Amino acid sequence: MFALLVAGVSLGFAIQSPVLGWVGLVLTAFGLSGPVQSTRLQAALVVGSSLLAASLRFAFSFPGFRQMGAGEDSTWAGMALCAGVGIVDRLPIALVLLIAPRSRAWAPLWVPAAWLVGERGMAWVTTLRLNDWLLTQAEMPAVLHGVSWVGQTTAAFLALTLGVAMGTALAYRRWRTLGVAGLAAGASWLIPPRKTDLSALRGVVALRLQRHAEAMPRSEGAELVVWPETASPRHLQELQEGTISGLRLPAPMASSASTHVMGLWNRIDGRSQNSAVALTSEGEVFWHRAKMGLAGFGEARRFGIVLGDASPLLPGDLEPVVQLGDRRVGVLICSEVFDPELMRRATPDGVDLVLVLASDNITGSRPEGRQLMLNGAALAAAERGVSIARASYRGVAALIGPDGTVHARVDSGHLAAARLQP
């Protein structure tokens, strides 16, 4: 029993693989339904295996706190936070087991709901609204197609119900139920995506950087160049949000007339802002907004602790939509893409392209963590039915279609560009 729970939760959440995620879910459901006489022991195993999975997930995905300017103690603070989130994440399941000892036979009915309640609690702790398990499944077309029709939360609920039903059927040897669940899983691959049009990504280039850059890259054929979060080491001073005129960054001219959207820092009222600016190929700034959806890691104070910066950032309040020539696009900064409300505000009627300026520093050198960040953007694209151009500082730069499919990506290199093939 203990081995099943540990293996199930650890496989499902620490190792970023779609197949192993489903195996982990089924094993966890099998363990929850198993013949353990002591409900207290079973609840303790659920919480204990969740703690282990949280620690493993931290080791795989989030070793980059010091790269964000954090002190030596921030790694331990981050591990403690991840461990605490591990408890919050699965605590509702353990509570149901304790309150209703005979609930194991009805696991497919209540475990998905308890699971999602725990994830909402985790989102409140971290200020990142993530469907954590669903992130590991974002490379599966069936999951993305489901998200495009019913949204992330409903798709997660349906997928969790299917997985728990399969695990419970194995535990109680209900082979007929297992066959029905298998048919449902197979039929899910037949669901078509809601949107597939890639026209919004034509002429768009998303950059990947390994270090700060000032020079604009050669951009022949590019109408719009997307730079990562904090791409430039330059700090602006007292730059108000909105339309700008008369401000020029001393950047070399690009080789063609293109519009650039770049992340950098702004100092206002003695505090820093994580900002995005739009500028011409000659370096003339004409629009600015500051990040308003601050993350719990390195940006916002959470429970009196800031992981990373010495003081929390000053949030902005400008709507994340800008007119770039004949394009009207949404502009989100890093973790804002995980916030459903900000995604909604960035995609009003007439907007079919969202630019995401990411850093991915928090994932360190781990490709698993970088893939998770990319998966989150894919889910957001499918849910809203919009294309996403994602630039990254040390992560994955990618162009994502409105069905969540990644059509171009760059995983390494400096000033490397992700663009659609002619």
- How does pLDDT run across 201-245, given as a tens digit for each residue? 999 999 999 888 877 776 667 889 999 998 887 788 889 999 998
358-413 pLDDT, tens digit each? 998 877 677 877 888 899 999 999 999 999 999 999 899 999 999 999 999 999 99
pLDDT band at 258 (very low <50, low <70, confident <90, very high): confident
Beta bridge partners of 358: 392
pLDDT band at 157 (very low <50, low <70, confident <90, very high): very high
Average predicted confidence (pLDDT) for the chain: 84
Residue 47 has pLDDT above 90, yes or no: no
d(CA 361, CA 242) in angstroms, rounded, equals 28
Residue 15 has pLDDT above 60, yes or no: no
Q: Determine what percent of the chain is predicted with pLDDT higher than 90.
A: 38
Rounded mean pLDDT of 49-65?
67
| Prediction pTM value | 0.90
* Domain chopping of the chain, boundaries: 2-190, 199-418
The per-residue pLDDT for 186 is 85
d(CA 128, CA 318) in angstroms, rounded, equals 20
CATH topology of domain 199-418: Nitrilase/N-carbamoyl-D-aminoacid amidohydrolase (3.60.110)
d(CA 404, CA 422) in angstroms, rounded, equals 20
d(CA 41, CA 57) in angstroms, rounded, equals 24
The per-residue pLDDT for 396 is 95
pLDDT band at 286 (very low <50, low <70, confident <90, very high): very high
Q: How would you classify the pairing of strands 387-393 and 353-358? A: parallel
Return the exposure string of 351-377: e unless at least 16 CB atoms fall within 10 Å of the residue's CB, then b.
Answer: bbbbbbbbbbbbbbebebbbbbbbbbb
Token pair listed for 179: 């066959």
d(CA 206, CA 194) in angstroms, rounded, equals 24
Residue 65 has pLDDT above 60, yes or no: no
d(CA 97, CA 115) in angstroms, rounded, equals 13
